[in-house]
Amino acid sequence: MGVALRAPVALRHLVVAGGQRKRYIGGNRKRGHAQRRYFTQPLEILWRRDPHSPFRIPAPAAARSEANASSQPPPLENASFEEYYKEQRIVREEEWDAFMSVLRRPLPATFRINASCRFWRDIFSKLENDFRGSLESEVSDEHVEDAISPLPWYPGNLAWHLKFSRKQLRKNQALESFHEFLKHGSEVGNITRQEAVSMVPPLFLNVQPDHHVLDMCAAPGSKTFQILEMIHQSKEQGLLPRALVIANDFKVQRCDLLIHNTKRMCTANLIVTNHEAQNFPSCSLAMDHGKPQGLEFDRVLCDVPCSGDGTIRKGHDMWRKWNSSTGNEIHLLQVNIAMRGIALLKVGGRMVYSTCSMNPVENEAVVAELLRRSGNSVELLDVSNELPELVRRPGLNTWKVKDGGFWFQTHEDVPRNRKNVILPSMFPSSESTHEGHTVNNGIGANSNHSTSFSRDFNIEAAGNVNCDSAKRLDYTSSRVDSNFSLDRCIRIVPHDQDGGAFFIAVLHKVSPLKESQMIEVRKTEHPLLTDRMEKLPKQHQEEIDKKLMNQHSTVTEALDDDKLIDEQKHLSMDNETSKDNNLIGVRMVSDDVEYGQAESGDRSHRTKKLHNEHRWKGVDPVLFFKDNSVIENIVSFFGIKESFSLEGHLVTRSTDNARRLYYISKSVQEILELNVQVGEQIKIASLGVKMFERHRSKDGCSCAYRLSYESLSLLLPYMSKRILYASPIDFQHLLQYRTINFAHFVDARFGQEAASLMPGCCVVVLREGLQNTDYIAMDPSAIAIVCWRGKATMIVLVSPPDRKELLEYRFGFKAFSVEDESSNHKID
């Protein structure tokens, strides 16, 4: 291999001639580097001439359109992918064909029911009774059996597996109503469409309703949402859980996605932050009664950015883009993020490290390095007794590292000029790479690279690793020390459960990290972005930038980002939040605009001032809302009981001039107070649930704020005023028609009560039969909507998807479309 490739220049000609465009796999073509790369990856270069090659350079437009005419999808092949994973022996030789054939099949769709949502039981019975049978009879024979079934390992049968891919769901007419059901459920937060394997890491966190949880790399938020479901599911009826969830992502755009997706949960217990996870602030204060005060979490989820090849079933793109170097490039960042997670974990707490990659360099190598760096402070848990029905495989004990065309077994084998890119920590037989740390006695390594394809997962007892007094490892050992226990990691492989691949390791902190281990992880430099960067010519820097961008774009998750971003853009144009968006027809909104304009001079001045005082540029500061006269006015207008304190629980963002007031839980309040004390170390992108919104109606309302539907279920049991009780028929009409004249209610008494109420925001509660009105609103499961009592009409202030939800689950309207407001017949 490669013998004929001693003339890199000639090869370059081949590439340029065949590809019509100068493109390089990597390296600096002006220096020997490119030539070396060419020399070491000769087959890849040659493949680029092959029309079936995954590395083929795109043809010019004319040729492309010709090719499109026959529009065959690109082959699901990538020889270097196969070579890499065969060499890593991630599955046994006899399983290889099954593994590859499952990888080439589309991924079946899976979803989860939000057990903290009001209608979860109805959704459950809909699935069992309406859809299960009909899906099995409507679709082709091939899928008849178990077209839809619960995932056996997910608690409470809440997660479901379909025998169709997402594409089939979209395209197959027979599945249309089911697809609609899923879409609508996702929109209102009752259902989360998420890859099955991606639901596993939060389950191993074992989250309790009083836990403080940090989700370090959280966007787009499917796992954050799952954690929120857990803390809200087990809460006492009508009470907020004591838990706190901080969901963080370092990309602003992805934080927006995270905010949008978690908003569906309407939770007061969430803070979304925007930091590099490896530098997540600790908010440390001076000692408090001899104990240092700062951020500490009971649970940390470290679902790090990765090459994402565990999601390769989701599309052709991943096959084409796959490259063994991505794992090497991202390894150090993964270690640094996870180390920060360990530092922020409470003693006794649990951290889950996970990736959707199959690459041991991103998985076992990272876990091994964490154990090395943290010494005896952290242990890798054996969780084989948890989720017994989940089919899993043990972590690998040995692997190799590939760089360019070369495989290395130890760091010593790596050429000098690559040693700063191919790090010792990537190898199973590594010493710690972290300055100041020594390898712990109990940690061993293995250089056993048997040529047999099958892997022996059993680990022999300890004792084969010799450590001298300087605690240096003896690499001649041929066995992995069992204290290292990498077999305790979990590998989920696609052909075991017809899903994607995932890697999970559960770590337990047994004692505080030592001072030396607490050294702040220095700002992570991507191996491609070290000081070499400055020395590179501009053109090459751009190439690297592009490469990094591509790499980020290969960081994948269960949700399709582009689609989500589109959805989000669409959403933000339409409205502020998913739960409270149908205010177009309500005059207060246009009044708000007038109000904003009148005040804008003063406001922009104040905003500017606040921004200058505020630490984070481009992010609105979070302020406790302390205007007592406004709070008193709200309390008295809605008759809010003393047991529901607003004081210290309402916050606002400065630029909106307190247009929206967000309610935060006690746990969030404490973190905010700490953040203020430490000089705003935490960059907060969003927090709490919107509870009140300023209006400027000319209807003569005495309270400047109206309620938000998002927080109605939280507040209603504590409200004693502004509540009307409607019969089922009038309640249904309100949902259907949105605006009803007082005289047109079926129950004339209700119309009179509405007419005699002072203008302004009110709540209409569904009253069934002869229910006693003294108790209905106090029941947290009461069905209620936010309305506006106008001059002669009652106007519903609830978004179309939320109205549709109520109509569907409470009134059995199956195919009612509320999106098209113009088609709604108004009663007036």
Ligand X SMILES: C[S@@+](CC[C@H](N)C(=O)[O-])C[C@H]1O[C@@H](n2cnc3c(N)ncnc32)[C@H](O)[C@@H]1O
Residue 245 or 704 with smaller CB distance to ligand X: 245
Q: Is 221 assigned to a binding site?
A: yes
Least CB distance to ligand X at residue 315 (A) = 16
Q: Is 303 assigned to a binding site?
A: yes
Residue in 356, 489, 701, 761 annotated catalytic: 356
Task: Give strand ranges (E) for 620-683.
Answer: 622-624, 650-653, 660-663
Q: Is 152 assigned to a binding site?
A: no
The DSSP line for 237-303 is: TTS--S-EEEEE-S-HHHHHHHHHHHHTT--SSEEEE---GGG-----EEEETTEEES--EEEEEEE
Residue 250 or 475 with smaller CB distance to ligand X: 250
Separation of alpha carbons 361 and 328, rounded Å: 7
Both structure tokens of 741: 């004249």
Least CB distance to ligand X at residue 573 (A) = 23
Element (H, E) at 125: helix 120-125
Residues whose CB is less than 8 angstroms from the CB of residue 480 and which lie 6 or more positions away in sequence, other chains included? 397, 398, 428, 444, 445, 446, 459, 460, 486
- The candidate with the shortest Cα–Cα distance to 703, out of 711, 692, 713, 712, is 692
The DSSP line for 36-105 is: HHHHH-HHHHHHTTSTT-TTPPPPPHHHHHHHHHT-PPPPS--HHHHHHHHHHT-S-GGGHHHHHHHHTS
Least CB distance to ligand X at residue 687 (A) = 18
Query: Rounded to the nearest 5 degrees, what angle is found at the Cα of 716, between the Cα atoms of 714 and 720?
Result: 145
- 345-355 and 502-509: which strand pairing? antiparallel
Least CB distance to ligand X at residue 264 (A) = 13
Residue 131 or 322 with smaller CB distance to ligand X: 322
Q: What is the 3-state secondary structure (H, E, C) of 207-244?
A: CCCCCEEEECCCCCCHHHHHHHHHHHHCCCCCCCCCCE
Residue 298 or 303 with smaller CB distance to ligand X: 303
| Amino acid at site 701 | C
Instruction: List residues binding ligand X (CB under 6 A).
Output: 198, 217-223, 248-251, 254, 276-278, 303, 305, 333, 337, 555, 557
Least CB distance to ligand X at residue 256 (A) = 11
Query: Rounded to the nearest 5 degrees, what angle is found at the Cα of 338, between the Cα atoms of 330 and 687?
Result: 105
Residue 220 or 360 with smaller CB distance to ligand X: 220
Residue 85 or 503 with smaller CB distance to ligand X: 503
Least CB distance to ligand X at residue 561 (A) = 8
Least CB distance to ligand X at residue 633 (A) = 40
**3-state class (DSSP) for residue 653:** strand
Q: Is 220 assigned to a binding site?
A: yes
State yes or no: cis peptide before 220, omega within 30 of 0: yes
Q: Is 223 assigned to a binding site?
A: yes
Q: Is 489 assigned to a binding site?
A: no
Please give the biggest Cα pair distance in the chain: 94
Residue 278 or 697 with smaller CB distance to ligand X: 278
Q: Which residue, judged by CB position, is nearest to ligand X in the bound state?
A: 217
Q: Is 243 assigned to a binding site?
A: no
Both structure tokens of 366: 């990272």
Residue 255 falls in the annotated catalytic set:
no
Q: Is 500 assigned to a binding site?
A: no
Q: What is the set of active-site residues?
A: 356
Residues at the binding site for S-adenosyl-L-methionine are: 217-223, 249, 303
Residues at the binding site are: 217-223, 249, 303
